[in-house]
């Protein structure tokens, strides 16, 4: 991808039209600047290696800055960059503070003293090398220096200084004048309040220590989901865990009477709107919701190796099939909400024998309407038009987290702008209707669900017509008349061609009808499941 790609730039700006103008401009520029040539995914992975003090290789791993996932590398030959530094260590003496350029990756290996934690033996001092790429450097730099507001060119100049390039060499690499490089470096130093290059180096190296902690994460844990459940999902919701035959751990919420009729819920990004208003109604109609928590949502660390061109969706479908076969003897009724509706439709294609009936609520088809130019329409249109860009969903989700959903005021601004076409939905957001304001829980969920949300984008921007046409079990689409994302008329167009599919438009409500009118909503769900 080249930065003069007008189509790309225009649609990135549309995606960030939800954000305040000044923030939107900088966010758009950053995504455009950092989306590399060849449309490769933006990667902030750090490759690390542990060595004994005599230079003998011990172990290695690949850790992701954004998601805290670590993949072990058990053999140096399995990862070329690991093999590169291992070969160097075999022929040279490792020393603390050493910077060694990487011929394979364009970054540099940084060697630091490291004592691995141990519980069963006396710890032994050694070394850890960390591959610091420019993308990784920018992630850490932005974490600590956002107030400086350096330009991409100024950040690159700082990175080149840290990597050992003198301004004359950096100028040759970038094919600019030495004066230009010195000017960028001088402005960067002024913005970071550093009076000398040595002071700037000390600051940057001390900040890069943060990378060490990103390599220590475990591959599983429930701290995030437990905290979210306790802090935001009020009522008698229960959190369970179940090991699937494929070896993965499935976390499951249950809600409603313990002896109620089971209803499998496939959730999307907006699922708390459903759960926060459901407890009383579930008791009334005797339904027990069973909610498998999807991979990529509310995790101490998300599974980025699964999110690769749609693989996380395939893994989720595999987990759902195994969970249903393990939990029930026969077919089960399924309720799917928001972006989770696409999972429901895909599951009917994958294993129709496991689903007796499907109820899909507030499906967002994300189709462009030329006559409608709302903020939501611009957002969805922009993402749809960028869908063929490899890694773009992940990049956009991360940028929203960085510039918007890490800030309470910005979160309120964006969500209100996104749902502004439906007064009822706005009342739900603001806590006038339903179980209270949505801003705090949305911000908390987004921070630990970026991989799942990026995966949802990929699903939603697939072909909804094809997914709906392939449904082979009785399916009911339940829709609010004032849905600001997808109109009932458009839903009618998509659902009219399949004799297994029925559309039910409620008399009131918008996209968040389950929260604004919970009694009406759950009464209708109960009626459809008894149909």
**pLDDT tens figures, 212-228:** 766 654 334 567 887 88
pLDDT tens figures, 505-523 = 999 999 999 999 999 999 9
Domain locations in the chain as residue ranges: 45-132, 135-216, 223-374+421-530
DSSP string, 234-253: -SS-EEEEEE-TTS-EEEEE
CB 145 within 8 A of CB 192: yes
Q: Cα separation of 511 and 424, whole Å?
A: 9
Q: How far apart are CA 418 and CA 425, in angstroms?
A: 10
Check whether 80 has a pLDDT greater than 80: yes
Pairing label, strands 99-101, 108-114? antiparallel
Query: Which numeric CATH code is attached to 223-374+421-530?
Result: 3.40.50.1820
Kindly indicate the confidence band of residue 71, based on its pLDDT and cuts at 50, 70 and 90: low
Per the structure block, which two tokens stand in for 487? 């109109």
Give the angle 276-279-283 at the CA atoms, nearest 5°. 165
For residues 243-254, average pLDDT = 84
**DSSP H or E run through 172:** helix 167-174
Buried b (16+ CB within 10 A) or exposed e, 389-420: bebbbbbbbbbbbbbbbeeeebbbbbbbbbbb
Gap between the Cα atoms of 39 and 455, Å rounded: 18
Average pLDDT over residues 21-42: 65
Rounded to 5°, the CA angle 44-50-51 comes to: 145
Encode pLDDT of 345-403 as tens digits. 999 999 999 999 999 999 988 766 656 678 888 888 888 788 777 778 778 888 888 87
What's the rounded Cα separation, in Å, for the pair 347 and 344? 5
Task: Say if residue 386 is exposed, middle or buried (CB neighbours under 10 Å; 0-12, 13-18, 19+).
Answer: buried
Q: Give the confidence band of 344 by pLDDT, cuts at 50, 70, 90.
A: very high
The model's pLDDT over 44-65, given as tens digits with 9 standing for 90+, comes to 678 889 899 999 998 787 776 5
Please, which residues have CB within 8 angstroms of residue 183's CB and are 6 or more apart in sequence?
none
Helix%, strand%, coil% for the chain, nearest 5: 45, 15, 35
Residue 526 confidence (pLDDT): 95
pLDDT at 42 over 60: no
pLDDT of residue 18: 86
Token pair in block for residue 408:
């309470």
Given the DSSP bridges, would you call strands 70-73 and 45-52 parallel, antiparallel or unpaired?
A: unpaired
User: 341: closest CA among 141, 478, 221, 180?
Assistant: 478
Q: Which fold has domain 135-216?
A: Arc Repressor Mutant, subunit A (1.10.10)
**Neighbour-count burial for 490-522, b at 16+ CB within 10 Å, e otherwise:** bbeebbeeeeebebbbbeebbbbbbbbbbebbb
Mean pLDDT of the chain: 84
For residues 268 and 293, is the Cβ–Cβ distance under 8 A? no
């Amino acid at each position: 991808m080249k930065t003069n790609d007008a189509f790309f730039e225009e649609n990135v700006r549309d995606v960030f039209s939800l954000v305040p103008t000044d923030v939107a401009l900088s966010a758009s520029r950053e995504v455009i600047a950092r989306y590399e040539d060849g449309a490769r995914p933006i990667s902030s992975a750090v490759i690390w290696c542990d060595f004994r003090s005599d230079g003998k290789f011990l172990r290695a791993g690949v850790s992701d800055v954004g998601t805290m996932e670590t993949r072990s590398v058990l053999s140096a030959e399995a990862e070329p960059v690991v093999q590169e530094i291992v070969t160097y260590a075999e022929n040279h003496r490792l020393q603390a503070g050493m910077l060694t350029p990487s011929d394979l990756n364009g970054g540099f290996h940084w060697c630091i003293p490291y004592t691995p934690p141990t519980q069963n033996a006396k710890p032994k001092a050694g070394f850890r090398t960390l591959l610091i790429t420019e993308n990784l450097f920018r992630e850490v730099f932005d974490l600590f220096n956002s107030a400086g507001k350096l330009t991409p060119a100024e950040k690159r100049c700082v990175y080149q200084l840290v990597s050992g390039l003198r301004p004359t060499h950096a100028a040759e690499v970038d094919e600019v004048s030495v004066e230009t490089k010195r000017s960028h470096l001088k402005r960067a130093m002024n913005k970071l309040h550093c009076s000398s290059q040595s002071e700037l180096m000390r600051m940057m190296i001390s900040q890069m220590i943060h990378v060490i902690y990103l390599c220590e994460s475990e591959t599983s844990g429930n701290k995030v989901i437990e905290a979210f459940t306790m802090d935001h999902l009020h009522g008698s919701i229960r959190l369970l865990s179940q090991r699937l035959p494929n070896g993965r751990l499935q976390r499951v919420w249950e809600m409603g009477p313990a002896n109620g009729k089971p209803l499998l819920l496939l959730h999307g990004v907006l699922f708390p709107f459903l759960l926060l208003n459901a407890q009383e109604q579930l008791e009334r109609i005797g339904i027990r919701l069973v909610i498998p928590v999807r991979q990529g949502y509310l995790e101490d660390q998300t599974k980025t190796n699964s999110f690769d061109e749609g693989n996380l969706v395939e893994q989720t479908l595999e987990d759902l099939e195994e969970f249903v076969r393990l939990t029930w003897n026969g077919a089960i009724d399924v309720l799917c909400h928001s972006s989770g509706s696409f999972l429901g439709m895909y599951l009917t294609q994958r294993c129709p024998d496991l689903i007796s009936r499907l109820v899909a609520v507030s499906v967002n088809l994300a189709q462009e309407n030329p006559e409608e130019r709302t903020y939501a329409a611009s957002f969805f249109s922009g993402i749809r038009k960028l869908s063929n860009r490899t890694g773009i969903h992940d990049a956009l989700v991360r940028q929203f987290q960085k510039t918007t959903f890490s800030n309470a005021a910005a979160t309120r601004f964006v969500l209100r702008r996104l749902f502004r076409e439906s007064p009822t939905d706005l009342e739900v957001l603001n806590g006038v209707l339903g179980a209270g304001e949505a801003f705090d829980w949305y911000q908390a969920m987004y921070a630990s669900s970026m991989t799942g949300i990026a995966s949802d984008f990929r699903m939603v921007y697939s072909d909804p017509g094809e997914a709906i046409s392939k449904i082979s079990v009785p399916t009911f689409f339940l829709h609010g008349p004032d849905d600001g994302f997808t109109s009932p008329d458009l839903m009618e167009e998509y659902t009219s061609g399949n004799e297994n599919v029925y559309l039910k438009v409620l008399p009131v409500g918008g996209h968040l009808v389950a929260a604004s009118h919970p009694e009406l909503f759950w009464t209708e769900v109960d009626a459809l499941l008894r149909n």
